[in-house]
């Protein structure tokens, strides 16, 4: 029998059978060690084969079917274990807020670079727009047009007023979409607005350090009544990049990828080489200085605990 993993706690899994029924499952013993470098061999979105115990309404997962794709992050630069956030997704949206809490462009760019690495279409949902006024409003508009111009789909939403939720809903139709982002940005609140029946737990951010309080604890996949699936995930502090080759980083910045063939050297790092098309575009203002700075930081492996 086959099913779709809708929740993964690391020790047990919720699996949706083809008739829509959901049953808790464990893993067949030997599967646990198959891929020891990830924290769990089974992720939300995985299609699995299982043995169904009809008397107890439980199952045992015995095989994960081949994934179309997946997205992995490391929790910190030094951690050995990587974590499969989700598998078989059509698109990954970062929920970002400019305030309460603040999402840095460094974090946004590391998320986008990861999505590019896995060839997963990415988007940015700027949430809590009801709180943006004055300078924040201007900053929001700058970032919205910057990332749109690079080719990422951008949304401006408020889970309080409902602003922009309709456009977002259109983009989610018939797709499986991952929501990621810091704790407290409103991932669950936006999903509740889209699908009120879910009644997902949300919580106010801490008044003490103005950050989220990690309300959602496990990734979970939900069916949207308009068609499609959405994956809510626990807030993450950092989007750790998994091992990558330095030569590949520029390719994951679409605006660099588009022009780097014009560099004089085909192994150009776009840092110090003469006749570099990327540096030229940067000087002409065609490549954003902040994006370029984040590119350099990724190359230097200098992405942990950054707050810019």
Residues near Mg ion (CB under 5 A) are: 187-188, 215-216
Nearer to Mg ion by Cβ, of 129 and 188: the residue is 188
Task: Please give the Cα distance from 61 to 74 (Å, whole number).
Answer: 25
Binding mask 255-294 for Zn ion (x = CB under 5 A): --------x----x-x-----x-x----------------
Reported in sequence order, the residue ranges of the chain that DSSP labels E, i.e. its strands, are 2-8, 13-17, 22-27, 47-53, 58-64, 70-74, 82-87, 91-96, 122-126, 153-156, 176-180, 220-223, 229-232
Q: How far apart (Å, rounded) are the C-alpha atoms in residues 305 and 238?
A: 8
DSSP one-letter string for 106-131: HHHHHHHHHHHHTT--EEEEE--GGG
Closest among 183, 185, 180 to 129, alpha carbons compared: 185
Nearer to ligand GTP, 2 or 130 (CB): 130
204 binds, among ligand GTP, Zn ion, Mg ion, none (CB under 5 to 8 A by kind): ligand GTP
Helix (H) / strand (E) element for 261: namely none
Q: Which is nearer to Mg ion, 114 or 216 (CB)?
A: 216
Min dist CB 286 to Zn ion, Å, is 13
* Closer to ligand GTP by Cβ: residue 233 or 277: 233
**Least gap, CB of 203 to ligand GTP (angstroms):** 5
Smallest separation (angstroms) from Mg ion to the CB of 283: 42
Strands 82-87 and 91-96: unpaired
- Contacting positions for ligand GTP (CB under 6 A): 127-128, 130-131, 158-160, 181, 183-189, 202-205, 212, 214-216, 234-235
- Among Zn ion, ligand GTP, Mg ion, none, the one that 278 touches (CB under a kind-dependent 5 to 8 A) is Zn ion
If the CB atoms of residues 88 and 158 are measured against ligand GTP, the closer one turns out to be 158
Whether residue 34 contacts residue 47, with contact meaning beta carbons closer than 8 Å, is answered with: no
Residues engaged in binding Zn ion (CB under 5 A): 263, 268, 270, 276, 278
């Amino acid at each position: 029998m086959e099913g779709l993993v809708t929740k993964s706690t690391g020790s047990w899994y919720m699996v949706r059978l083809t008739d829509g029924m959901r049953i808790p499952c464990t893993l067949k013993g030997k599967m646990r060690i198959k891929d020891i470098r990830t924290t769990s061999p089974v992720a939300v979105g995985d299609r699995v084969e299982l043995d169904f115990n009809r008397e107890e309404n439980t199952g045992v997962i015995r095989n994960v079917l081949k994934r179309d794709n997946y997205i992995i992050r490391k929790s910190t630069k030094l951690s050995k274990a990587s974590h499969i956030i989700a598998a078989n997704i059509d698109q990954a949206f970062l929920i970002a807020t400019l305030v309460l809490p603040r999402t840095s462009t460094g974090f946004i760019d590391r998320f986008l670079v990861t999505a590019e690495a896995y060839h997963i279409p990415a988007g940015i949902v700027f949430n809590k727009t009801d709180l943006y006024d004055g300078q924040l409003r201007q900053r929001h508009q700058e970032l919205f047009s910057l990332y749109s111009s690079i080719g990422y789909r951008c949304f401006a939403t408020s889970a309080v007023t409902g602003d922009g939720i309709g456009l977002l809903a259109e983009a989610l139709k018939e797709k499986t979409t991952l929501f990621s982002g810091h704790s407290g940005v409103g991932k669950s609140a936006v999903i509740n607005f889209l699908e009120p029946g879910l009644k997902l737990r949300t919580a106010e951010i801490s008044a003490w350090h103005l950050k989220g309080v990690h309300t959602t604890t496990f990734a979970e996949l939900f069916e949207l009544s308009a068609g499609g699936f959405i994956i809510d995930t626990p807030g993450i502090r950092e989007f750790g990049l998994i091992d990558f080759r330095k030569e590949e980083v520029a390719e994951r910045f679409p605006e660099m990828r588009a022009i780097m063939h014009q560099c004089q050297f085909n192994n150009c790092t776009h840092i110090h080489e003469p006749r570099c098309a990327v540096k030229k575009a940067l000087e002409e203002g065609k490549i954003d200085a902040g994006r370029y700075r984040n590119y350099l930081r990724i190359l230097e492996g200098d992405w942990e605990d950054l707050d810019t």
